[in-house]
Structure 1
Amino acid sequence: MDITLELMKHSVLEGERILLRPVGLADASDMFEYASNEETTRFVFETHRNRAMTEEAIANYFMAAPAGKYALVVKDTDKMIGTIDIRPNLTDHIAEIGYTLNKHYGGNGYMTQAGKLITALAFDVLKMEKVFAMHDILNPASGAVMKRLGMQSEGILRRHKVFKGRSCDMAYYGILKEEYSRQAREY
């Protein structure tokens, strides 16, 4: 299976209230709104100091290799409120997901819906055996999303990452294909 081809065939995913689509330079204003907020970026990436930094991030990360990287857009308003991406490992049949959400849109179920679309893509299309995600243990809100996706805590990776000069302990969560299939049958 050509994973990149499959991801490009599924570059737009639609949920009930959200749309996942490629990130483009037209998203710079919406992304800068949250990327310049230290509270939002505290655990995920360097805070953007200006719009040019946001445009560079979009061009160099999202547009240079767009497969599996999505803008999270609220359908009613067409506002881009975050990003989510999937990083499949074909050798091990596992995929990692990562996400960022504008703090003003938290608690509305948008990221959970986006995560469910990405998890379905991983298992149903890409034929992965496991989907996992990690979060800094100081960011339990991210872990709450993982739990809502049906992921189980698999442990803490101690001092797993150095970020913004701090050695971080990372909580590791995962869901197996059979667990995902069982949940899908229950709904």
Structure 2
Amino acid sequence: MDITLELMKHSTLEGDRIFLRPVGLADAPDMFEYASDEETTRFVFETHRDRAMTEEAIANYFLAAPAGKYAIVVQDTKKMIGTIDIRPNATDRIAEIGYTLNKAYRGNGYMTEAGKLITALAFEVLKLEKVFAMHDMLNPASGEVMKRIGMHPEGVLRRHKVFKGRSCDMAYYGILKDEYFQQA
């Protein structure tokens, strides 16, 4: 199976209240709204200083290699409120997911819904064996999202990465194919 081809065939995914679609330059205003917020970006990427930085991020990350990278859009308003991506390793039949959400939309279950759409894609379409994610130990709210999409804590990777000048301990969560289908 060509995973990149399958991701491109599934470049849009629809949930009950949100849909996932490719990120485009037209998303720059909505993305800048949260990417310029220090609280939102604290654990995930450099805070955007201006809209040009957001446009560069969209061009160089989302548009340069769009497979598996999605805007999270509220169906009712069509507002882009965050992003989620899946980074598969075809050899090992696993994938890592990562996500960011505008803080104004936290606590509404949108990220959980997006995560469930991505895990369904991973197991039902891509036929992967495991999906995993990591979060900075100082950001336990991200771990709560991981638990709600069915992941289990597997351990802590001590001083696993340096981000914004700080050596970070990362909590590692995962869900196996069998666990996903038992929950479904």
Partner of 1:102: 102
Letter in structure 2 aligned against 1:49: R
Distance 2:13 2:150 in 1: 20
Encode CA deviations 1:127-164: one digit per residue, 9 max, x unaligned.
Answer: 00000000000001100000001100000000001000
**The residue matched to 2:4 in structure 1 has which SS?**
helix
**The residue matched to 2:123 in structure 1 has which SS?**
helix
How far apart are 1:87 and its partner, in Å?
A: 0.3
Partner of 2:87: 87
**The residue matched to 2:156 in structure 1 has which SS?**
strand
How far apart are 1:183 and its partner, in Å?
A: 0.1
Partner of 2:47: 47
Partner of 1:70: 70
**The residue matched to 1:49 in structure 2 has which SS?**
coil
Encode CA deviations 1:3-23: one digit per residue, 9 max, x unaligned.
Answer: 110000000000000010000
Partner of 2:155: 155
RMSD: 0.3
How far apart are 1:65 and its partner, in Å?
A: 0.3
Q: TM-score, normalised by structure 2?
A: 1.00
How far apart are 1:69 and its partner, in Å?
A: 0.0
Distance 2:67 2:123 in 1: 16
How far apart are 1:102 and its partner, in Å?
A: 0.3
How far apart are 1:115 and its partner, in Å?
A: 0.2
Partner of 2:111: 111
Distance 2:87 2:61 in 1: 13
**The residue matched to 2:29 in structure 1 has which SS?**
helix
Partner of 2:23: 23
Q: TM-score, normalised by structure 1?
A: 0.98
Number of aligned residue pairs: 184
Unaligned runs of 5+ in 2: none
Encode CA deviations 1:37-79: one digit per residue, 9 max, x unaligned.
Answer: 0000000000000000000000000000000000000000000
Unaligned runs of 5+ in 1: none
How far apart are 1:83 and its partner, in Å?
A: 0.1
**The residue matched to 1:157 in structure 2 has which SS?**
strand
